[in-house]
Amino acid sequence: MPVVDVSGLTFTYAAGTSPAIRNLSFQIDRGEIFGFLGPNGAGKSTTQKLLVRLLRGYEGTVSVLGHDLAEWGAKYYEEIGVSFEQPNHYLRLTGSENLSYFRRLYLGRTRQPDELLEMVGLAGEGDRRVAQYSKGMKTRLSVARALLNDPQLIFMDEPTAGLDPVGGRRIRTLIRELKEAGRTVFLTTHDMTVAGELCDRVAFLVAGEMPIVGSPAALKLVHGSRTVAIEYHLHGSPGRREFPLDGLHANAAFLALLRDATINTLHTQEATLEDVFLRVTGRGLG
């Protein structure tokens, strides 16, 4: 049974004239890192807010952890973890105090604040007021808070946004560790590199609609063209050419280069997830 099962999900904001998201259908299995990818305004945060019950009044059916979303009460928040795109901490409290405060809201077992700070790379920063934290530190504190109750299912909205390379790597490693521990992660991001590296499957979201879902590798195979690029010297002049990987054994121009030129480099070119996105949606991530 999937951990998240969404069918025909459609939602219109009270202030909106047209739906912010339209007819979304997808399933997420236990232990999966599921990436939700799309440009700004696509409806990613709206979808996450619906799935964590911050927004109500959708059309379609959603079942999470074996129950219809509408039937979950307050106990839902004992089972899931959520980190928001806009961190909402108490700025006058320290990082540790924030975690201790939110920790008390749970009925079940919770993790130690120090352990969580360590997990997100904030060890040693727990006694500083959050007002003094950088944007990236606040984001990481959000991720720590989402893990207080050691949830089965974790929603993360742009958890690597605004992080420096070291902080970003720390969070990516943490997400992988969560998967290894059997947790399920719903990862919202507009960072294709993060998604391609981490996610078992990704869903593209564009203008509220979801044209495609699949594993990064499968999407690249189906929608990306694979080529081989050669840099060479021929009769004393440098050159570079690309050839399609398919039919390479019978490609006369390629074989002639192999025979006559001095090859400097020879690389296969994989489609990136960004290439696939561009090809499928006809637009970039902006």
Site for Mg ion in 71-90 (CB under 5 A): 85
Q: Tell me the closest approach of the beta carbon of residue 207 to ligand ADP, in angstroms.
A: 8
* Binding region for Mg ion (CB under 5 A) out of 38-46, 133-141, 241-249, 273-281: 38-46
DSSP per-residue string spanning 160-226: TTT--HHHHHHHHHHHHHHHHTT-EEEEEES-HHHHHHH-SEEEEEETTEEEEEE-HHHHHHHHSPP
Picked from ligand ADP, Mg ion, none, the partner binding residue 250 (CB below 5 to 8 A depending on kind) is: none
Task: List residues near ligand ADP by CB under 6 A.
Answer: 13, 15-16, 20, 38, 40-46
Q: Compute the least distance from the CB of residue 245 to ligand ADP, in Å.
A: 34
Query: Per CB under 5 A, which of residues 156..195 are in contact with Mg ion?
Result: none
State which residue, 12 or 227, has the beta carbon closest to Mg ion: 12
Contact assessment for residue 214 and residue 202, using Cβ atoms and an 8 Å cutoff = yes
**Which entry of ligand ADP, Mg ion, none binds 41, CB below 5 to 8 A by partner kind?**
ligand ADP
The number of beta carbons lying within 10 Å of the beta carbon of residue 79 is: 15
Q: By rule CB under 5 A, what count of residues binds Mg ion? A: 3
Closest to ligand ADP by CB, 122 or 203? 203
Q: Which is nearer to Mg ion, 44 or 145 (CB)?
A: 44
Task: Please classify residue 181 by burial: count the beta carbons closer than 10 Å to its beta carbon, then call 0-12 exposed, 13-18 middle and 19+ buried.
Answer: exposed
Alpha-carbon distance of 162 to 174, in angstroms, equals 17
**Residue 82 identity (one-letter amino acid):** V
Looking at 19, 42, 45, 94, which residue binds Mg ion (CB under 5 A)? 45
Question: Residue 75 contacts by C-beta under 8 Å, 6 or more apart in sequence?
Answer: none
Work out what residue 42 binds among ligand ADP, Mg ion, none; the CB cut-off runs from 5 to 8 Å by kind.
ligand ADP
The neighbour count for residue 185, using CB atoms within 10 Å, is 24
CA 193/CA 183 separation, integer angstroms: 22
User: Cβ closer to Mg ion: 48 or 63?
Assistant: 48
Site residues (vs Mg ion, CB under 5 A): 44-45, 85
